[in-house]
Amino acid sequence: MSIVDGAHTRMTDAEPSRSELLTVRNLTKHYRVGGNIFGRGAKTVRAVDDVSFTIGRGETLGLVGESGCGKSTLGRSLLRLVPIEGGRIEFEGTDTAKLKGEELRQMRKHMQAVFQNPLGSLDPRMTVGATVGEPLTQFGLPRRDVRQRVEQLFDMVGLDHAKIDAYPRHLSGGQRQRVGIARAIGLDPRLIVADEAVSALDVSVQAQIINLLVRLQRELELSYLFISHDLAVVRHISHRVGVMYLGRIVEIADSETLFATPAHPYTRALLDSAQTPDPSQRREQIMLSGDLPSPTNVPSGCRFRTRCPLAQQICAEIEPPLREIRPAQRAACHFPLTDITSANKPQETEPRA
Ligand code: ADP
Ligand code: MG
């Protein structure tokens, strides 16, 4: 898969030149937790805090970051599965953040989800064929046509028709995830939010499901928000990748650029921690020290500064905005890693401090 990018676009912005399907602006989702019955003493969890990005048609945007950084909340907010505080979610030109009732229901046809645990999201008392057929019936497909469409969907995801009348417990993990995908594509959506969709599967099954997602993307011109803590998987499937830290996107770039030359120290630390230590590689690694601060109490200035080896005074005072570092790469850092040596090469020079 390659991204066809106009040179002029690459020079000015990290966004894709393909036409945009989804444009998210200043999306914010906070949770109130704790406190007494009057709300006194309650704290605000800044799970998603002023996040902006786009997803192009037929594009996969990967989303990575440590557990608790807000990835799932971002996915659920896009799908309007949780109420949001503010921001715009423009889907094919309509701000879906404002939709209610029937309009919201209709919009749901176009944005679907595939979650980590297919057994948890499949009804154990329903045959998997009925699970795949349910949204079709809900959206008005005549009953006599449902069986035929379900058979077609089973073909598309590589499941035998004999499985249509099986129950979830009779299927393997990979087969269940295929059912989840068949249900998600049944209404011909434009966008699928895949939240840790392959994380619970064995590596060989993961590869099969990823290949299936890639094939469906091509055949159906689907866009994906592909959420995963697994960098190798995200690298494989994504055209672009966003990195989240404490509710913010701190870096977003072409997949190739991000993995070859991460600009944010946090991205680099994530990549370093995912690498098997190789004694022949002598370059300085950025280690993540300390725990993730609580999203109820985010540090001033740059949120990453309390764990950042490059932090200076300014980092505590001014929050760095996302800005262009290289073509098709933006990072929110006062001291981005801009040396030309690849992060994967040994003998790297010290990052600029
Ligand atoms: P990720 O998917 O990256 O692991 P989440 O989006 O699940 O992160 O969580 C982001 C933050 O929001 C975490 O601090 C989490 O504890 C908090 N959070 C998630 N869901 C809720 C909820 N329903 N109520 C309160 N806090 C929540
Ligand atoms: Mg999650």
- CA–centroid distance, residue 209 to ligand 1 (Å): 26
**Which residue's alpha carbon is at the smallest distance from atom 21 of ligand 1?**
31
The ligand whose atoms approach the alpha carbon of 196 most closely is 2
Name every protein residue with a CB atom under 6 angstroms from any ligand 1 atom: 31, 33, 45, 47, 65, 67-73, 295
Q: What is the pLDDT of residues 50-105, one digit of tens each?
A: 999 999 999 999 999 999 999 999 999 999 999 999 999 999 989 999 899 999 99
Q: Which atom of ligand 1 is nearest to the CA of 196?
A: 2
**Which residue's alpha carbon is at the smallest distance from atom 27 of ligand 1?**
31
Separation CA 244–CA 166 (nearest Å): 39
Q: What is the pLDDT of residues 262-310, one digit of tens each?
A: 999 999 999 998 876 666 655 667 778 788 899 999 999 999 999 999 9
Question: Kindly report the CA angle at 34 between 33 and 35, in degrees rounded to 5?
Answer: 125
- CA–centroid distance, residue 69 to ligand 2 (Å): 8
Closest C-alpha to 244, from 111, 71, 97, 128:
71
Full-model pTM: 0.89
- CA–centroid distance, residue 64 to ligand 2 (Å): 10
What percent of the residues of the chain are helix, what percent strand, and what percent coil, each to the nearest 5? 35, 20, 45
- CA–centroid distance, residue 70 to ligand 1 (Å): 6
